[in-house]
Amino acid sequence: MRVVIAGGHGKIALRLEKLLAANGDTAVGLVRNPGHVADLRDAGAEPVLLDLENASVAEVAETLSGADAAVFAAGAGPGSGTERKETVDRAAAVLLAEAAERAGVRRFVQVSSMGAGQPIDAGAVGEVFAAYLRAKADAERDLRDRDLDWTILRPGRLTDEPGTGMVHLAPEVPRADVPRDDVAAVLVELLSDTTTVGATLELTSGNTPVGEAVARL
């Protein structure tokens, strides 16, 4: 399987790339910083320099050509302001989905966030985080209207704790943390799964093995 991953140097993406490489799959990581190329190669991924904030649909579609699946795992990051939540978390996701349609890459998995699509109290969460959730929700809405075999994954609060391989995965789960290791493991399962097409799933740590959690869906 050849999988193109937007946000290829992100913490989830690097873990995903390592897992795919270990499975004998080809992970193609899209990055905008040449300084990140070596890290992707160390993870077993094929790096491609492409800035999704400035690329055209045609350029992204060319990169997707011949792929079996696409994963949107990009994000503006915690240090960014409201403007980049719009240009990365929403616009770049829309761009990748549109390019996937043009390139004929049907399987599309989008990493979103718990809280997306829910009422937002900007006074309680802060304007930047509110902008992030709005951007994620807008990207979700765009994807649902596309002719793609999409799945949206909404993880809980992400941690760098070692993964346990045990998760809670369902259309709705109580808010909780989840290690990035386990998010990546779930993404691997989703990429080859067809029963979750058209599903929006929430993910936290739990007591069900990853493979079983996906199979139950």
pLDDT of residue 125: 67
Q: What is the pTM of this model?
A: 0.95
Q: What is the pLDDT along the chain (217 residues), one digit of tens a residue?
A: 999 999 999 999 999 999 999 999 999 999 999 999 999 999 999 999 999 999 999 999 999 999 999 999 998 777 778 888 899 999 999 999 999 999 999 999 999 999 898 777 666 667 888 888 999 999 999 999 999 999 999 999 999 999 999 999 999 999 999 999 999 999 999 999 999 999 999 999 999 999 999 999 8
| Closest to 140 (Cα-Cα) out of 118, 170, 162, 122 | 118
- Structural domains for the chain: 2-216 (3.40.50.720)
CA distance 60 to 45: 18
Locate 183 and state its tokens. 């998010």
pLDDT of residue 130: 87
| 106 catalytically annotated | no
Name the catalytic one among 67, 132, 148, 173.
132
pLDDT of residue 126: 76
